[in-house]
Amino acid sequence: AIGGTRFNTELINIPHSVIVLNQEFMLDVGANSVLDAAQYVSGVSSTAGSNREVFNVRGYQIGVTTDGFSDSSPTAQGLSTPFELVDRVEIIKGPAAVLYGSTSPGGNVNRLTKKPLFRREMTLQASVGEGGFTQAMFDVNQAMPAGGGQVAMRVIGSYEHFDDVYVNFSDS
């Protein structure tokens, strides 16, 4: 896990609580966002609505980092991360979050993005759901010989649409 020490370290060698949600787990539970995947971790919750990623760990609102660095993009203000870009999520519980400059004693959520791999791989996914939900995603990974070495390339794209359906429940 990178999140526990800022280095690629085995989880058994990290002296604090780090939970890693990998790609396989996120596909198994059908997660459509980092928040969907994080709901399976004890002590992690959110007070924000849909399409917002504001995490609470151990009762404290916490910072979110991307690849171990502070995120100053709109995702840092709680807007949801393009889930297609996320390879895995590391949730660090407790004061170890000071490694990331976080002053929250609750912890930290670190999103690790997908990197180019030195193999040929292609993925195409499509989903349809209730309320006019449609989604399509592609992920193309290609290794290319270049001079004396190799170069890897990865292209990820997605489309998502959801009809805003509002149901007003009233007492009858």
> How confident is the model over 1-5, as a mean pLDDT?
56
Q: What is the reported pLDDT for 78?
A: 58
The answer on pLDDT for 138 being more than 90 is yes
Specify whether the CB–CB gap between 18 and 30 falls below 8 A: no
Q: Label residue 166 by pLDDT band (50, 70, 90).
A: low
Q: What pLDDT was estimated at residue 150?
A: 82
- The candidate with the shortest Cα–Cα distance to 102, out of 68, 79, 78, is 68
Q: Give pLDDT, residue 53.
A: 74
Tokens of 132: 């006019």
Q: What are phi and psi of 13, to 5 degrees?
A: -95, 10
Q: Which helix (H) or strand (E) holds 38?
A: helix 34-38
Assign 6 a pLDDT band (cuts: 50, 70, 90): low
Would strands 121-128 and 134-146 be described as parallel, antiparallel, or unpaired? antiparallel
Average confidence score pLDDT of the chain: 79
Q: What is the pLDDT of residues 16-75, one digit of tens each?
A: 778 899 989 998 998 878 888 888 999 888 776 666 677 888 888 887 788 877 765 544
Q: At a CB cut-off of 8 Å and minimum separation 6, what does 144 contact?
A: 150, 151, 152, 153
Q: Are residues 81 and 55 in contact, defined by beta-carbon separation less than 8 angstroms?
A: no
72 vs 130, residue with greater confidence = 130
pLDDT at 172 over 70: no
For the four alpha carbons of 41, 106, 32 and 157, in that order, the dihedral sign comes to: negative
Tell me what the mean pLDDT of segment 120-143 comes to.
90
* Spatial contact of 108 and 93, defined as CB atoms under 8 Å apart: no
Give the pLDDT confidence score for residue 58 in this predicted structure. 84
Yes or no: say if 152 and 142 are a contact pair by the CB < 8 Å rule: yes
